[in-house]
Amino acid sequence: QEEKNAFWKAADNKLIRYGGSWANVIVERAQGTAMWDSDGNKILDFTSGQMSSLLGHGHPEIVQVVSNYMANLDHIFSAMVTKPNVDLALALSSLLPPGLDRCMFLSTGSETNECALKLAKMYTGGHEVVSLSASYHGMTHGAGAATFSVGRKGYGPQLPGNFVLPVPYAYRSPFRHPDGSYDWKSELDYGWDLIDRQSTGALACVIIEPIISTGGIITLPPGYLKEMKSHCERRGMVLIIDEAQTGMGRTGDMFAFEHEGVIPDILTLSKTLGAGLPLGATICTQEIESVCHEKGFFYYTTHLNDPLVCAVGAKVCEIVVRDNLVGEAKRKGKLLEEGLKNLQKKYPCIGDVRGRGLMMGIEIVLDPITKIPGDELGTSISARCMETGLSCNVVQLKGMGGTFRIAPPLTITDEEISEGIAIMDAAFDWALK
């Protein structure tokens, strides 16, 4: 206990607090879908770390790639292209639609979106950026200005020309009719009407997550992204799809945009691409790359094209394809959804179950009819889950209920899914007694 007290004292005194509270656990080891705390307790990881550990923790082939490249080719001058850069670019372009194949490899999601926004601005000559009201695209100034879910206040003016569209939130939207149908098209037209009134005529791009994660696992209504693309085309804007979380098979498609039948002009990948290591990719069309290059596009970072993480990314692509993890995400996602829907039948405080593949959310309400958000209830249930061996995450945004985000590694076993659902079941039972 003394050691633990010293640990937390040092954490309290020496770390910059991020704005939320630290999880009340000291994790010492992570392997597969599980972590172990300093007392040796096992905790199932239902969030893939920070929604990143696509292949579970310590995947033996990733360990091998890391140790091999660490020993032989870790990091070199950023202007030097290496085989892993080219391998990863080829691997991604074999998975992507023709023409969407110009890659820049960076470290984090924020960085990939900064790069995407700059490409869009330079390509169109505009600077105005449109994103959804529950969006999360990063914490840096450009990506942060397009992030409307958290972290906007206290830093002076945001970048000029960042506009917001209402998130298409079927469960709570005011555009729901009394018969339950959801008129998302009118909602979207209304949003664009407001934007067209504010724009100075310099609209550059829309940036959007195909499933809004931090904003509460909100899936887009069928046809929504297609409609968004046509809004972009009409206005000469570029469509950026941010697949930090949804990319690489997570939702039961290799990329979530495939499900929507829409091809982005710029795609960003991060989190899942490095399967837990800091790797991101900004991918654009040949046309955007060549126009921006001609106009003097310059974007260069310390870890640009780092061989070690690019080799990891290439291995992730190989494993996802070889082990049919896209199909597995679809199959296991159905098991997970079934388990969550069974919980919903038992606990009416689960107002909504939504998501796709191994990316699911459940929204906690105090009453399923009035839909009063059950934020505190959600927090206490997730804390109980953690105490009893399951790590999941609850996001709470203004005007929404607390929503559990469940996104385990694609390598999770069927038994581990059942185990996690059983822990949730017991935690709901405990909280509602």
Residue 149 found at the interface with ligand PMP (CB under 6 A) = no
**Toward ligand PMP, which CB reaches closer, 126 or 138?**
138
State the Cα–Cα distance between residues 284 and 99, nearest whole angstrom.
Answer: 8
| CB within 8 Å of 77: residues ≥ 6 apart | none
Phi and psi at 12, nearest 5°, equal -65, -40
CB of 235 to ligand PMP, least distance (A): 23
Residue 136 found at the interface with ligand PMP (CB under 6 A) = yes
State the Cα–Cα distance between residues 47 and 195, nearest whole angstrom.
Answer: 35
**Toward ligand PMP, which CB reaches closer, 34 or 207?**
207
Q: How many residues bind ligand PMP (CB under 6 A)?
A: 14
Do 420 and 46 meet the contact criterion of CB atoms below 8 Å apart? yes
Binder of ligand PMP out of 35, 244, 340, 390 (CB under 6 A): 244
Do 237 and 165 meet the contact criterion of CB atoms below 8 Å apart? no
Do 115 and 106 meet the contact criterion of CB atoms below 8 Å apart? yes
Binding residues among 95-124 for ligand PMP as defined by CB under 6 A: 108-110, 113
Q: For the chain, what's the residue count?
A: 433
Annotated catalytic residue: which of 69, 123, 136, 224? 136
Binder of ligand PMP out of 137, 172, 229, 405 (CB under 6 A): 137
CB of 271 to ligand PMP, least distance (A): 6
Residue 282 found at the interface with ligand PMP (CB under 6 A) = no
Residue 245 found at the interface with ligand PMP (CB under 6 A) = yes
Name the nearest CA neighbour of 150 among 162, 160, 137, 159.
Answer: 137
State the Cα–Cα distance between residues 304 and 310, nearest whole angstrom.
Answer: 10
Do 164 and 212 meet the contact criterion of CB atoms below 8 Å apart? no
**Toward ligand PMP, which CB reaches closer, 52 or 124?**
52
136 is an active site residue: yes
Binding residues among 198-227 for ligand PMP as defined by CB under 6 A: 209, 213-214
**Toward ligand PMP, which CB reaches closer, 146 or 365?**
146
Token couple for 398? 């203004």
State the Cα–Cα distance between residues 404 and 393, nearest whole angstrom.
Answer: 5
State the Cα–Cα distance between residues 31 and 38, nearest whole angstrom.
Answer: 15
Residue 48 found at the interface with ligand PMP (CB under 6 A) = no
CB of 227 to ligand PMP, least distance (A): 21
**Toward ligand PMP, which CB reaches closer, 139 or 291?**
139
Which sequence positions are flagged as catalytic? Answer: 136
User: Would you tell me which residues interact with ligand PMP (CB under 6 A)?
Assistant: 108-110, 113, 136-138, 209, 213-214, 242, 244-245, 270
